[in-house]
């Protein structure tokens, strides 16, 4: 049984219909309908097999779940250089926000300096989901003890009309407000984001339980007129 055949044994058509509504950019015919926990379990089961290593060479994949499984297999890699090599090969083939956002190799956290070199390159890519991935990595690994004022500058410098990039910019700043409020609120008091990202970042921050009521009142006052 091929890996794709195994995915079809896990199929839930109703769940596939639900997923399709969340990903309007994806052809419904390429969504099998497999729940994420089942994909992660399968990835852990097969990651070290020859079949899995052959599978991740078979790019591009046809199915959404094949891409997600591919991401989860890479995430099982404990060697940073190998995880990075596989990531570089895979990123150009990511074609939706869900695969992008669920793809986070754990080994990346152990090598922040090396990872940052790649992030600087990815964030300047012409590929929508490579840019989104770069911003997501900055949000995931560089908003706590590794934070630097340089990183929100990198995100604010991204100029794009792509919805899925703009949404990630807003998400980044909303999360940054929760974690590094004093360092990033200036991006909203003296606006440095386009109006849509500015307002969406405020909206998402206000929805966060990590933002104080006093901060929420102030952020509401910063909303820009469209």
Q: How far apart are CA 109 and CA 111, in angstroms?
A: 6
Cis peptide before 13 (omega within 30 of 0): no
Each domain of the chain, given as residue ranges in start order, spans 1-110, 135-226
What is the DSSP track for 81-115? HHHHHHHHHHGGG--SHHHHHH---GGGGG-HHHH
- Each residue's pLDDT tens digit, 33-84: 999 999 999 999 999 999 999 999 999 999 999 999 999 999 999 999 999 9
The answer to whether the CB of 86 falls within 8 A of the CB of 72 is: no
Q: Is 203 helix (H, G, I), strand (E, B) or coil?
A: helix
Sign of CA dihedral 69, 71, 75, 81: positive
Q: What is the pLDDT of residue 226?
A: 62
Instruction: Please name which of 98, 140, 102 lies closest in space to residue 119, comparing C-alpha atoms.
Output: 140
Dig out the tokens for 124 from the structure: 């300047």
pLDDT tens string for the chain (226 positions)? 899 999 999 999 999 999 999 999 999 999 999 999 999 999 999 999 999 999 999 999 999 999 999 999 999 999 999 999 999 999 999 999 999 999 999 999 999 999 999 999 999 999 999 999 999 999 999 999 999 999 999 999 999 999 999 999 999 999 999 999 999 999 999 989 999 999 999 999 999 999 999 999 999 999 987 6
Q: What is the pLDDT of residue 1?
A: 86
Q: How far apart are CA 106 and CA 2, in angstroms?
A: 27
Q: What is the pLDDT of residue 161?
A: 95
Q: What is the pLDDT of residue 153?
A: 97
pTM of the entire predicted model? 0.95
């Amino acid at each position: 049984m091929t890996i794709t055949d195994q995915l079809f044994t896990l199929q839930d058509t109703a769940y596939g219909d639900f997923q399709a509504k969340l990903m309007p950019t994806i052809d419904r015919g390429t969504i099998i309908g497999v729940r994420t926990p089942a994909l992660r379990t399968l990835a852990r089961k097969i990651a070290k097999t020859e079949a899995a290593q052959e599978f991740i060479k078979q790019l591009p994949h046809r199915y959404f779940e094949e891409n997600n499984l591919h991401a989860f297999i890479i995430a099982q890699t404990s060697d940073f250089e190998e995880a990075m090599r596989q990531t570089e090969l895979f990123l150009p083939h990511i074609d939706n926000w869900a695969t992008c956002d669920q793809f986070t190799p754990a080994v990346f956290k152990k090598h922040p300096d090396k990872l940052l070199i790649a992030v600087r390159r990815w964030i300047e890519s012409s590929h929508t989901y490579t840019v989104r991935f770069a911003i997501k990595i900055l949000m995931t690994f560089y908003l706590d003890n590794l934070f630097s004022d340089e990183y929100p500058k990198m995100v604010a410098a991204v100029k794009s009309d792509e919805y899925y990039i703009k949404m990630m910019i807003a998400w980044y700043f909303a999360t940054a407000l929760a974690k590094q409020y004093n360092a990033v609120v200036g991006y909203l008091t003296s606006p440095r984001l386009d109006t849509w990202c500015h307002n969406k970042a405020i909206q998402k921050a206000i929805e966060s339980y990590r933002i104080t009521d006093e901060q929420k009142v102030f952020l509401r006052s910063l909303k820009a007129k469209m």
